[in-house]
Chain A
Amino acid sequence: MGIFVNASTKAIVQGITGTQGSFHTRLMLDYGTQIVAGVTPGKGGKKVHNVPVYDAVEEALQKHEADTSIIFVPAPFAADAAFEALESGLKTIVIITEHVPVKDAVQVMARAKHQGAVVIGPNTPGIITLGGCKLGIMPVHIFKRGSVGIASRSGTLTYEIATGLSTMGLGQSTCLGLGGDPVVGLSFVEVLKEFEKDEQTKAVVLIGEIGGDAEERAASFISNKGYAKPVVAFVAGRTAPKGKRMGHAGAIIMGKAGTAQSKIDAFREANVSVAEKPSDVAKILAEKLKRRKNIFGGAESER
């Protein structure tokens, strides 16, 4: 199964005729993703890797059934593309585009929330549910089908850690990037809730980095509500020098949150194991799953 997308997901690609859009459409098709149509204003009637291109999302949806969109359009037009997808009733929107203005992101997220749609990104490598659907730009050969869910704030670090997991024989259910921008559509907490409900997912890896308080919130969610599956975290930026600070207001909102140490402490207080190095994630998780299997006599893998 996995979360948000799976083998039955039918997607359109907005910005399909651009360099990145076209290149990654081919790779997503190669993976087996159902890409039913593409949209690029002014390029309607063309085909990209045999996928028909339309001038507007609405036109594409008159001819094809779809529930999801992946957006590759340049930053100045990304919000418009997202609004167009949302207004056409698509339920999951993946925004790969980076450098989307924060004001645009705020408006897109408000609109999505209003109609109960899920936005992944912006500035995300996307999402992949192994063996079912890839909507993103991640290289597929580093992943392996299995039962570990990954949610991450960093694209390349996700690849790093997924490689480690796959090498250890710990395959993945769904891996998704929350996005590297200040305002993104999903938080760790929302993804944790989905992974908890997903039968295929047996353990979760959270990959965080300095800035914001998404990790602290995830930790307090886990410690308040309890979490049925083992969670391992990695936080990048322990040795990063103090970055740009958003004046007084940033400090007022964040308090002490935001530093790597604050995030690591929060996770540890919530009994979430924190890996020192990316490669330790797989080792810790393997150990946890082994212990769990011993306790449950291996029965849980039968469910």
Chain B
Amino acid sequence: MKLFEYEAKEILSKYGIPTPTGGLITSPKQARETAERIKSPVVVKAQVLVAGRGKAGGILFASSPAEAELSSSKLLSSKIKGIKVQSVLVEEQLSISKELYFSITVDRSNRSYVAIASSEGGVEIEEIAAATPEKIIKVLVDPLYGFRSYHARQIAKKLGYVGSQMRELAAIFLKLYRVAMDCDAELCEMNPIVETSEGKFVAADARLIIDDNALYRQSNFHGRLTKIDGDKLTSQELEAQKSGLAYVKLDGNIGVIGNGAGLVMATLDAIKLYGGNPANFLDVGGGASSDKMAAALNLVLSDHRVDVVFINILGGITRCDEVAKGILEAKNRIGFVKPLVIRLVGTNEREGRRILTEAGIPILDSMEEAAEKAVGIAKVGG
């Protein structure tokens, strides 16, 4: 789960990491008031969960409260990369002497967390990492011992700081590691963390992504998942979220339902290979019940662009009889307005086949044969 910048900064601030003075606003009038309170030029930042917000025009500078009102009014009525701006963060403009990068994230190959830092933070960090990897400092965190103060000091020193500045910066790094661990973060990033002209360090931007699998023990974030992503999700995607289905809308006309992300991806690849276009990615996951299967079918059929539905199930923990029951349930509830191509093999296959065959629904054995058939039907136009 991605947090907004303002939420991430609130958390950083609670852990004692310096952040700019400012406030979240939802109306231009509030922006003016906030700017008046700050008493210095401000930066006005759209709160949207997309990367490259600055380059897309989501960050504006204002030298007066009147200008802050105008800028925020502009942002609040705009879309950044297709996402409607619903709130804006108004903050003091920092006098920047240097922009640094620091993050804690998961290094999957090394099966550990890793601290990443660079003396060249800012929006170009990815390009810098690609072109001059030597400017990126990485310290793997041994899970048995954690990220220690000497690691933090070592990084601060490599970034070019000594004495009290080194200690101050190291303390911030340690706090960020604490945030990452306490919040079960997949990514906890300050980009940039700024050295001000007074030689102080401030987290000018922050990004925090919480591990969805750990949300059950992150009570601070309970009940806000749909609220946050709500405006950019299609109605089908919202429905999928409620039913616990992994669904992504695509732009074709062949509805796809399968079990297992790998199999569903391979199914999409096969459809494309035969010249067709998938309408969606839908993974019912492992051990789907008949209810879940029926919900999946309802969902895919609710997309009016879909001409044919391709169900590709290979049962392991998923039982074919449950899948078959779900398909029948959906049939009884809504009827089939669109043709179905079903491929069903694996655990309890015989029972699943019996249920569907008795209901007059044909079943195929091979995924590629089924993909070809689905593409054929879609081309004819259903």
Contact = CB atoms under 8 A, between A and B. Distances in A.
Interface of A: 20, 24, 75-76, 96, 98-103, 105-107, 109-111, 113-114, 125, 137-139, 142, 152-157, 159-160, 163, 180, 182-185, 187, 207, 209-210, 212-214, 217, 234, 236-241, 245-253, 255, 276-279
A88 to B, nearest CB: 19
A249 B187 contact: yes
B219 to A, nearest CB: 13
A184 to B, nearest CB: 8
Contact of A125 (B211, B214, B316, B366): B316
Given A125-B316, A154-B263, A156-B258, 18 more contacts: A76-B216, A102-B211, A106-B143, A125-B317, A139-B349, A155-B260, A156-B259, A157-B260, A159-B316, A160-B263, A160-B367, A183-B106, A213-B108, A236-B266, A238-B272, A239-B272, A249-B105, A279-B366
B230 to A, nearest CB: 17
B263 A156 contact: yes
A43 to B, nearest CB: 21
A277 B316 contact: no
A163 B369 CA distance: 14
Interface stretch (B37-45, B124-132, B232-240): B124-132
Nearest to B208: A247
A83 B271 CA distance: 43
A106 B209 contact: no
B261 interface: yes
Interface in B206-221: 207, 209, 211, 213-214, 216-217
B245 interface: no
14 contacts: A105-B111, A125-B317, A139-B349, A209-B265, A236-B266, A236-B269, A237-B262, A237-B265, A241-B248, A246-B186, A247-B189, A248-B191, A249-B116, A251-B129
A250 B263 CA distance: 24
Contact of B106 (A75, A102, A210): A102
Contacts of B162: none
A247 B187 contact: yes
Contacts of A252: 116, 125-126, 129, 136
Nearest to A99: B213
Contacts of B316: 125, 137-139, 155-156, 159
Interface of B: 51, 101, 103, 105-109, 111-114, 116, 125-126, 129-130, 136, 142-144, 181, 184, 186-187, 189, 191, 207, 209, 211, 213-214, 216-217, 248, 250, 258-263, 265-266, 268-270, 272-273, 278, 281, 285-287, 314-317, 345-347, 349, 366-368
Contacts of B191: 248
A277 B270 CA distance: 7
Contacts of A246: 105, 186-187, 209
Contacts of A106: 106, 111-113, 143
Contacts of B130: 255
Given A157-B266, A249-B187, A114 B125 contact: no
Contact of B181 (A103, A214, A241): A103
Nearest to A101: B214
A250 B268 contact: no
Contacts of A157: 260, 262-263, 266
Contact of B108 (A152, A212, A239): A212
B106 A160 contact: no
B260 A278 contact: no
Nearest to B130: A255
Contacts of A247: 51, 103, 105, 187, 189, 207, 209
B41 to A, nearest CB: 27
Nearest to A185: B111
Pick the most buried of B109, B112, B259, B285: most chain A CB atoms within 10 A of its CB.
Answer: B109
Pick the most buried of B216, B278, B316: most chain A CB atoms within 10 A of its CB.
Answer: B316
A268 B184 CA distance: 38
A209 B51 contact: no
Nearest to A138: B316
A224 to B, nearest CB: 16
A277 B189 CA distance: 39
Contact of B126 (A139, A234, A251): A251
Contacts of B144: 110-111, 114
Contact of A183 (B111, B258, B266): B111
A119 to B, nearest CB: 10
Nearest to A154: B262
Contact of B262 (A102, A109, A155, A279): A155
Contacts of A212: 108-109
